[in-house]
């Protein structure tokens, strides 16, 4: 493996100079490795011959060496931030290097934190170690959870100072996605009346990522809006089902491919609180956990407005957006049902789920631990000696192991009453099989998610030059459904100090 064997392509650059500025990354002084994703390297064919251990890779992925075939650029976009039109934004600290072939097509490789661009505005073009580690870990964790997301190949760090609330140090994340095009790219060309560019961008996205939109009857751009809405609905359902809060759902942070992108003040819920606000800067709670699906719709509406110049009639946009209102709740109910061990969706399921969520909210039950224990309550009964010797027990799952779930509630009788309803629903499934259902639940409800305090501990160690805790956490997050002996601490309740962690937009 050497430089010359990499074949870089540049589809986005083919759109022309209205879409970006070509520039060089700013070198990062004395770079060192912070983290690498072997899984991502393998998908890009970068794992052979120790390439990801080479100085060449270290220099390339910290922005110090532009490899032959790379064509670095920063793209221009605009967007709505916290509900207000923010005008031109753009890649203020991200630099696209080009694409490398991936298993399902070309993948864009982007350096985040690689220096100033024409779109840096007041920023310094840099990213700090703390937020770079969080983005790196979460990208790979989300992928392992099966949630559409940009990926991360590696993080490099440097002693170079970066000034935020305190002096911190610089880092660069190498991000990977089929495309980093955002809703904000479309808004940019619509709001600046560059309709030829708007059309070119929409055609680019359709041709490369949504080719079926071309073949359908009617306006292809309305079809694109509907397809983006459908993907966004699925992603949002997955966020809600796993307890993920994005934190900054501005339209410039919304992927046209429905990917989770731009990891900032995100958080996985600890104690369940539907109104949880993870971003310390979000004083109004616009991006609270339970508002995310509606905010996604608001953002899709902004995308629809941006696409209006390409439609024959505004009604087409409204019709394209309409399905989101039923797709999102349906996708969410399907996923919540799967978390409960249900193999299909029936009429009473929404109420059953809502009643549970109310109990969990009232008692601030730990979100991840609840679902994992519930899964075990079904799975373990089928492997217990009692179950094996007395087959009748199989039909009566979850009597004894449910204690561990019950213990999570303060108002246990209320939980018991709910559990009776749940058990009835579970057992009424034709051919119910506790072992198979439990195994499915254990593959649906993760054992470990990237809780704030886990990231924080990895960051503290990395600041001291110890990257082993980060690597251990990364390894566990890459297998979130597995019980990993020796790593039980990563699946435990958060410590009290976790509540004091404040994550803001500062990154």
219-258: contacts with Mg ion (CB under 5 A) = 253
Alpha-carbon distance of 494 to 273, in angstroms, equals 15
Nearer to Mg ion, 308 or 505 (CB): 505
Q: Binding to ligand AMP by residue 124, rule CB under 6 A? A: yes
Residue ranges of alpha helices (H) inside 160-278 are 183-191, 195-209, 212-215, 220-242
Give 111-158 as a DSSP string: EES----TT-TTS-S-EEHHHHHHHHHHHHHHHHTT--B-EEEEEEEE
Examine residue 120 and tell whether it contacts ligand AMP (CB under 6 A): yes
C-beta atoms surrounding 4 within 10 Å: 9
Q: Spell out a b/e string for 126-163, using b for 16 or more CB atoms within 10 Å of the CB, else e.
A: bbbbbbbbbbbbbbbbbbbbebbbbbbbbbbbbebebe
Q: Is 79 helix (H, G, I), strand (E, B) or coil?
A: strand
CB of 208 to Mg ion, least distance (A): 22
What region, left, alpha or beta, does residue 105 occupy, with left being phi > 0 and alpha being psi -120 to 50 degrees? left
Nearer to Mg ion, 137 or 332 (CB): 137
Residue nearest to Mg ion (CB): 262
**Residue 252 is among the residues annotated as catalytic for this protein:** yes
Q: Which stretch binds ligand AMP (CB under 6 A): 19-27, 85-93, 137-145, 239-247?
A: 85-93
Smallest separation (angstroms) from ligand AMP to the CB of 89: 4
**What minimum distance in Å lies between the beta carbon of 191 and ligand AMP?**
15
- Which H or E run includes 107? strand 105-112
Partner touching 89 among ligand AMP, Mg ion, none, CB below 5 to 8 Å by kind = ligand AMP
43 or 282: whose CB is closer to ligand AMP? 282
Nearest one of 333, 366, 349 to 421, comparing CA atoms: 349
Task: Give the residue, chosen from 80, 126, 246, 339, that forms a contact with ligand AMP under the rule CB under 6 A.
Answer: 126
CA angle 41, 45, 50 (to 5 degrees): 70
Are residues 188 and 76 in contact, defined by beta-carbon separation less than 8 angstroms?
yes
Tell me which of 53, 215, 252, 312 is the catalytic residue: 252
Alpha carbon distance 447, 490 (integer Å): 9
147 binds ligand AMP (CB under 6 A): no
The contact mask relative to ligand AMP for 5-44 (x = CB under 6 A, - = no) is ----------------------------------------
Q: According to CB under 6 A, which residues from 230 to 289 bind ligand AMP?
A: 248, 250, 253, 262, 264
Binding partner selected for residue 248 from ligand AMP, Mg ion, none, CB under the kind-specific 5 to 8 Å limit: ligand AMP
Closest distance between ligand AMP and the C-beta of residue 75, in Å?
10
Which residues, 6 or more positions from 122, have their beta carbon under 8 angstroms from its beta carbon? none
- State the minimum distance, in angstroms, from the CB of residue 253 to Mg ion: 4
Helix, coil or strand: residue 188 = helix
Give the side-chain half-sphere CA count within 13 A for 153: 28
Nearer to ligand AMP, 82 or 301 (CB): 82
Interface residue with ligand AMP among 80, 93, 151, 335 (CB under 6 A) is 93
Among 98, 102, 125, 494, indicate the residue that binds ligand AMP (CB under 6 A). Answer: 125
By CB under 5 A, the count of residues binding Mg ion is 2
Query: In the complex, what is the shortest distance from the CB of residue 282 to Mg ion, in angstroms, rounded to a whole number?
Result: 14
Per DSSP, the three-state class of 267 is strand
Task: Find the distance separating the first CA and the last CA of the chain, reported in whole Å.
Answer: 34
Structure tokens at 231: 């993907």
Q: Which range binds Mg ion by CB under 5 A, 10-18, 227-235, 259-267, 351-359?
A: 259-267
Residue 92 is a binding residue for ligand AMP (CB under 6 A)? yes
How far, rounded to the nearest angstrom, does the alpha carbon of residue 78 sit from its chain's CA centroid? 21
Instruction: Kindly state the smallest distance separating residue 190's Cβ from ligand AMP, in Å.
Output: 18
262 counts as binding Mg ion under rule CB under 5 A: yes
Residues that bind ligand AMP (CB under 6 A): 89-93, 119-120, 123-126, 248, 250, 253, 262, 264
Catalytic (active-site) positions? 252
Residues that bind Mg ion (CB under 5 A): 253, 262
């Amino acid at each position: 493996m050497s430089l010359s064997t990499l074949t870089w392509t540049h589809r986005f650059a083919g759109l022309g100079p209205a879409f970006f500025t070509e520039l060089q990354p700013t070198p990062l002084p004395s770079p060192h490795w912070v983290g690498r994703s072997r899984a991502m390297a393998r998908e890009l064919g970068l794992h052979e011959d120790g390439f990801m251990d080479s100085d060449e890779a270290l220099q390339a992925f910290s922005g110090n060496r532009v490899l032959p075939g790379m064509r670095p650029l920063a793209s221009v976009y605009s967007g709505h931030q916290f509900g207000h039109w923010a005008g031109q934004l753009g890649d203020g600290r991200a630099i696209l290097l080009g694409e490398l072939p991936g298993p399902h097509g070309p993948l864009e490789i982007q350096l985040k934190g690689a220096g100033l661009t024409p779109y840096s505005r007041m920023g310094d073009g840099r990213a700090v170690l703390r937020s770079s580690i969080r983005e790196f870990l979460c990208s790979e964790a989300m992928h392992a959870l099966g949630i559409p997301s940009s990926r991360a190949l590696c993080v490099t760090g440097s002693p170079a100072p970066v000034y935020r609330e305190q002096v911190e140090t610089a880092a660069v994340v190498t991000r990977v996605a089929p495309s980093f095009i955002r809703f904000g790219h479309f808004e940019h060309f619509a709001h600046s009346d560059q309709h030829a560019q708007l059309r070119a961008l929409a055609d680019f996205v359709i041709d490369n990522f949504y080719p079926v939109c071309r073949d359908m009857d009617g306006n292809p751009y309305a079809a694109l809006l509907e397809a983006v809405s459908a993907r966004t609905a699925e992603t949002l359902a997955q966020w809600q089902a796993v307890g993920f809060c994005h934190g900054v759902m501005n339209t410039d942070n919304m992927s046209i491919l429905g990917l989770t992108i731009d990891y900032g003040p995100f958080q996985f819920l600890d104690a369940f609180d539907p109104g949880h606000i993870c971003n310390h800067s979000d004083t109004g709670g616009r991006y609270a956990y339970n508002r995310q699906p509606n905010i996604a719709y608001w953002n899709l509406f902004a995308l629809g407005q941006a696409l209006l110049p390409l439609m024959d009639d505004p009604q087409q946009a409204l019709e394209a957006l309409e399905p989101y209102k039923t797709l999102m709740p349906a996708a969410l109910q399907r996923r919540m049902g799967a978390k409960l061990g249900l193999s299909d969706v029936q009429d009473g399921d929404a109420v059953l789920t809502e009643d549970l969520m109310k109990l969990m909210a009232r008692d601030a039950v730990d979100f991840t631990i609840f679902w994992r224990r519930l899964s075990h309550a079904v799975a373990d009964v089928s492997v217990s000696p009692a179950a094996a010797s007395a087959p009748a027990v199989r039909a009566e799952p979850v009597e004894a192991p449910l204690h561990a779930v019950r213990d999570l509630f303060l108002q246990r009788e209320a939980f018991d009453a709910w559990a009776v309803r749940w058990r009835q629903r579970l057992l009424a499934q034709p051919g119910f099989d506790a072992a198979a259902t439990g195994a499915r639940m254990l593959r649906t409800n993760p054992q470990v998610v990237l809780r704030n305090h886990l990231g924080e501990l990895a960051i503290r160690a990395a600041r001291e030059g110890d990257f082993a805790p980060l690597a251990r956490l990364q390894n566990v997050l890459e297998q979130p459904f597995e019980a990993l002996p020796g790593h039980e601490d990563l699946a435990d309740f958060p410590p009290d100090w976790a509540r004091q962690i404040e994550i803001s937009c500062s990154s």
